Structure 1
Amino acid sequence: MMAGDSAPGTPAAGQPAGPGFSHRQILVTMSGLVIAMLLAMLDNMIVAPALPTIVGDLGGLNHLAWVATGYVLASTVATPIWGKLGDLYGRRIVFVAAVALFLLGSALCGMSQDMAQLIGFRALQGLGAGGLMVGVLSIIGEMIPPRDRSKYQGVMMAVMPVAMIGGPLIGGFITDNLSWRWAFYVNLPLGAVTLILCWITLAKLPKGTGKAVIDWWGTALLTVWITSLVLITSWGGTQYDWDSPQILGLAALAVAGFVAFVIVQRRAVEPIMPLRVFKSLNFTLSGAIAFISGFAMFGAIGFLPQFQQFVQGASATNSGLLLMPMMIAAMVVSLGGGALISKTGHYKSLPIIGSVLITAGLALFATMALDTTTTMSALYMVVLGAGMGAIMQTSTLIAQNSIDLRDMGAGTGVSTFLRNMGSSLGISLLGAVYTSQLADSLADAGPAAQNVAASAASMTPQALRALPEAAQHLFQQAVTDGVTALFTWGAAVTAVGIVLAFFIRQVPLRSTAAPAASPDAEPVAAGR
């Protein structure tokens, strides 16, 4: 591909804005990506308010975390694979295939008859979802130089108000007035439009050779050690003791799988996760911070509705509305941060500020009690959302600025993989903390809580309101104990991100799509 115009300003229509793409061509291509991004973001936002009703309907509080974990785990495993396939076979066909698989999973989720089916079909949906975000980011990364990228990402950010505000409202409305199954079926008409638009608008993207060898061993080993790790965090201390043969066996399998994976990646002709990208310190640090932010984000979105619906008495629709302060704060800070980076080229301060705010937000949530008002929890959400907004776009931008164009898909896949890995472990680990603490709180309440504990696995907000007031209080206290425990652990993890952010180096953003030199030889910081 030809090197594009390196001017930092927005190109005039018809002039090159990236490697071979004019400003007009980029905007036309991005029309399909905008809808795809909306599709990916809407799914999480719509399903979150419906989770308490879904779990209560199908039964199994112990499987609550796996409704989300199955999705995120599959997405995590698939992300680097989709990214590498895009490098090898061309982004158009690979991206459209990911959208189609996501839609198939959505349809099957809506038809689920029990928790096992729902978890399995969520995993299938997650396999497709893994290709949506990495596909969008890789396509943008291939077309647009890092210094100009934040201006075009502003177009992508225009979908955030619809997804972040409309998603919870749609999910809550569907749950209260239709059926939770439509939280999945709603993806189908939007997905059909996405398939048509992306097939047309992505036609100008370079096509792959289709002759490369797929790293099947790397793919299999990646699946083994990630799944083992998530199972450890999900089952350890709850279903099995930490020193049980099951957990120790999974730990040994995770370590052996990871070591074998690294060996295979060093020797593979076309590794699914090229280890050379980690030679860049900035890439590694931004990936670690993305991991931590994913851990925090899904913990907040996944479990806050439990407190809002069971303790604060919100309906599914209102619990979606109550998430708005966090989403709006994330959107505003992300847009402002993108504009700042585009204008000044400076980005180092954003990961530091974002990490501090995320830790502070989680710490504030850890102080919640039965009498915490919706106003106070909304203020906590603003703090957490602002931190997410400062990190989400910046971590990806730093990662892409540190890799060569040949690794754009794989490198973006690795960065997204690390964020998803944090989400997967966050959901499973924090979910285990939540359910364990909830059960312990009910057990500590003595005989008075026996009937409540027996029905806890299938408790819904509606069923809770039908119980005597004393029983409601016991269950609400148990939910509060579980939520505050998980946020305490979450704050401890995200505090590590503050330290890591200080080591990011202010390397000037490129005004071409690929670095002039290998990222292995990343220059010493040009800034502070």
Structure 2
Amino acid sequence: MSHRQVIQSLTGLLMGMFVSILAGTVVSTSLPVILSDLHGDQTAYTWVVTATLLATTISTPIWGKLADLSNRKVLLQLSLLVFVVASAIAGFSQDTSMLITMRVFQGLGAGGLTALSQIVMADIISPRERGKYMGLFGAVMALGTVGGPLIGGFITDAINWRWNFFVALPFAAIAIILIQKTLHLPVQAKRKVSIDYAGIALLSAGVSLLLIWVSLAGNQFDWASSTTALMVGGAVAALIAFVIVEVKAAEPIIPLSMFKNATFTLSVVASISVGVSMFGTSVFLAQYMQLARGANATQSGLMTIPMMAGLLIISTIAGAMISKFGKWKAIMVTGSVLQLAGLYLLGTIHYDTNFVLVSVYMFVLGAGLGMVMQNLVLIVQNAVTPAEIGVASSGIAFFRSLGGTIGVSVLGALMATKVVDTLGGRAAELHAAIAGLGTQGKALAASLASGNIPAVNGLPDSVRSIIESSYGDSVAFVFMVAAPLSILTILAVVFLPNLELSNQTRDQREKADAGEARHGLDGLDDAEQILVDASEALVAATPAPAGNLDEVRDADKSPARS
């Protein structure tokens, strides 16, 4: 395919990715308003966020396996349709139960878009050329991640929060039409399909229990409690059963044989760490901007642009270099080191750190993620067989999402504990500041005692500095705790086999492999024919024995005959 044809084919795919990211981020700034309007509590707030992450994480490998078994184009349109319909219905939610249910279906659709976008790229672009197109995905991610909260805040203030769920509908309709008209994929050979239903059920149960436990432990029940024992025990039992089923399944969801491939195994390790960095920073940087620097939701979105700029710019440059020179190892090692450096530097910030410095630290982290995240998928697709590209791609996305979800929950729990400890250490100072406010101080004290933090930018200066300082130090603590995980990324990338990038698309590789197999059979046929011809020549050259059968037998037994 020419560059023009590739761009045309990717147009609908990129639009679909934009829809997914936009619909996921546009509600982030309006969730407090939504939950207040629907009379939801803190538990409902947690579930609105967690439900989508759970569904996305669980469904990603399932979509990837389905992509290896059936029509990818139809699956891509189906996942987009599921996502959009769920978003539209969520806009009509009358209570939190309806909203959470629709968020689950949004996650199912998002899982398909996450897995299938990478798989479709492998169908039409060779690994060597794929690097330069990764920048387009980085641009879409940055645009959706930064633009979503800004659009959501504006829509909530200017119109109504329900329109946040409708804003993606026209983009989705355009994406489905573009995919139908412009995306032309190679025809897959028909074969018997076997769906691993038991594997799907056990994986869903095991991962759901584990992630629900991580999300709720420490808030709804103690970490060390009977509920924890039941949930963790159930999750472990389900995952062990899943492994047993996968060994015996004809078409496993996650073939365990994939872990014999060093590239896949090491990329899984790196993806878990990258997931913590990617998802964790997006959550805690927003809290830092709002709670430590007094920004509102729209301002916090603008203030995180340096990180997205680093991801976008550097990923584009790195992708172009990989396509031009065919070398990826040095770029990914550099990116993993920058990831560690960015997290460490963010671990040193305070509420009053010069924002130019904070912007530089965010840019460094974004640059590191941009050089590693998408290229992990690239090198795995290059290292596996064409038949395994779908499940391998979705496997990397699955473990990245899993790491991000668990990381956010665990780091969030650590941050909550750190905030309590920090404020407790300054309790006398805080009480003195509140006491000087009279009636306003009593209301503020009641609010803080209940666990609610009012809008920081609306607090009196005497109290505001204490709250901002406590949250600033707590967010920095979270980044410092997350930094050592990046050492895993560095080690995994260093030990990745330095395989040469192929110049063939998935379809071309399949045809080439089939051709080699046929050539091998033809060579075997030629060898067999040579043996037959030699045997016939040997028989023809051997003189026929004369005489009766007894004489022949006697001749066979003679020393000369022997």
Alignment TM class, shorter chain as reference: 0.7 to 0.9
Identity %: 38
The answer to whether the Cα contact below 8 Å between 1:452 and 1:471 also exists between their aligned partners in 2 is no
Residue aligning to 1:93:
74
Displacement after TM superposition at 1:227 (Å): 1.5
Q: Could you report, residue by residue, the CA deviation over 1:192-243 in whole angstroms, capped at 9, with x for unpaired residues?
A: 1112222333354435748512111111111122112213322334433333
Displacement after TM superposition at 1:328 (Å): 0.8
Aligned partner of residue 238 in structure 2, secondary structure: helix
Q: Residues 36 and 175 of structure 1: is their aligned pair in 2 closer, same or farther, counting only changes over 3 Å? A: same
Residue aligning to 1:36:
16
Residue aligning to 2:271:
290
Q: Could you report, residue by residue, the CA deviation over 1:59-90 in whole angstroms, capped at 9, with x for unpaired residues?
A: 64566554433212210101011111122121
- The one-letter amino acid of 1:487's match is F
Larger Rg belongs to: 2
The answer to whether the Cα contact below 8 Å between 2:422 and 2:470 also exists between their aligned partners in 1 is yes
Residue aligning to 2:447:
452
The answer to whether the Cα contact below 8 Å between 1:66 and 1:428 also exists between their aligned partners in 2 is no
CA distance in structure 2 between the aligned counterparts of 1:86 and 1:327, rounded to whole angstroms: 30
- The one-letter amino acid of 2:327's match is H
1:509 to 497, 501, 511: 501
CA distance in structure 1 between the aligned counterparts of 2:194 and 2:33, rounded to whole angstroms: 45
Residue aligning to 1:236:
217
The aligned length equals 495
Larger deviation: 257-266 or 44-53? 44-53
Q: Residues 423 and 46 of structure 1: is their aligned pair in 2 closer, same or farther, counting only changes over 3 Å? A: same
Larger deviation: 482-491 or 331-340? 482-491
Displacement after TM superposition at 1:185 (Å): 2.2
The answer to whether the Cα contact below 8 Å between 1:334 and 1:392 also exists between their aligned partners in 2 is no
Displacement after TM superposition at 1:360 (Å): 2.0
Matched, 1:276 2:257: yes
2:490 to 482, 493, 498: 498
CA distance in structure 2 between the aligned counterparts of 1:502 and 1:161, rounded to whole angstroms: 27
Q: Could you report, residue by residue, the CA deviation over 1:304-325 in whole angstroms, capped at 9, with x for unpaired residues?
A: 2222123212222211111110
Residue aligning to 1:421:
402
- The one-letter amino acid of 2:448's match is A
CA distance in structure 2 between the aligned counterparts of 1:426 and 1:73, rounded to whole angstroms: 13
CA distance in structure 1 between the aligned counterparts of 2:6 and 2:460, rounded to whole angstroms: 60
2:378 to 387, 397, 402: 397
CA distance in structure 2 between the aligned counterparts of 1:118 and 1:248, rounded to whole angstroms: 30
CA distance in structure 2 between the aligned counterparts of 1:204 and 1:501, rounded to whole angstroms: 32
The answer to whether the Cα contact below 8 Å between 1:49 and 1:172 also exists between their aligned partners in 2 is yes
- The one-letter amino acid of 1:364's match is L
CA distance in structure 2 between the aligned counterparts of 1:47 and 1:100, rounded to whole angstroms: 19
Larger deviation: 241-250 or 381-390? 241-250
Larger deviation: 108-117 or 399-408? 108-117
The answer to whether the Cα contact below 8 Å between 1:46 and 1:183 also exists between their aligned partners in 2 is yes
Displacement after TM superposition at 1:171 (Å): 3.2
Aligned partner of residue 483 in structure 2, secondary structure: helix
Residue aligning to 1:386:
367
Displacement after TM superposition at 1:149 (Å): 1.8
Q: Residues 178 and 299 of structure 1: is their aligned pair in 2 closer, same or farther, counting only changes over 3 Å? A: farther
CA distance in structure 1 between the aligned counterparts of 2:129 and 2:358, rounded to whole angstroms: 37
CA distance in structure 2 between the aligned counterparts of 1:53 and 1:356, rounded to whole angstroms: 40
Displacement after TM superposition at 1:450 (Å): 4.8
The answer to whether the Cα contact below 8 Å between 1:405 and 1:513 also exists between their aligned partners in 2 is no
Displacement after TM superposition at 1:415 (Å): 1.2
CA distance in structure 2 between the aligned counterparts of 1:56 and 1:326, rounded to whole angstroms: 31
The answer to whether the Cα contact below 8 Å between 1:65 and 1:431 also exists between their aligned partners in 2 is no
Displacement after TM superposition at 1:334 (Å): 0.6
- The one-letter amino acid of 1:494's match is S
- The one-letter amino acid of 1:105's match is A
Aligned partner of residue 456 in structure 1, secondary structure: coil
Structure 2 unpaired stretches of 5+: 432-443, 515-562
The answer to whether the Cα contact below 8 Å between 1:294 and 1:419 also exists between their aligned partners in 2 is yes
Give the TM-score normalised by the residue count of structure 1: 0.85
CA distance in structure 1 between the aligned counterparts of 2:226 and 2:189, rounded to whole angstroms: 46
Structure 1 unpaired stretches of 5+: 1-16, 519-528
The answer to whether the Cα contact below 8 Å between 1:452 and 1:475 also exists between their aligned partners in 2 is no
The answer to whether the Cα contact below 8 Å between 2:63 and 2:111 also exists between their aligned partners in 1 is yes
- The one-letter amino acid of 2:11's match is S
Q: Residues 155 and 500 of structure 1: is their aligned pair in 2 closer, same or farther, counting only changes over 3 Å? A: closer
Larger deviation: 426-435 or 137-146? 426-435
Map 1:82-231 → 2, pairs under 5 A: 82-113=63-94, 115-157=96-138, 159-160=140-141, 162-202=143-183, 204-206=185-187, 209=190, 211-231=192-212
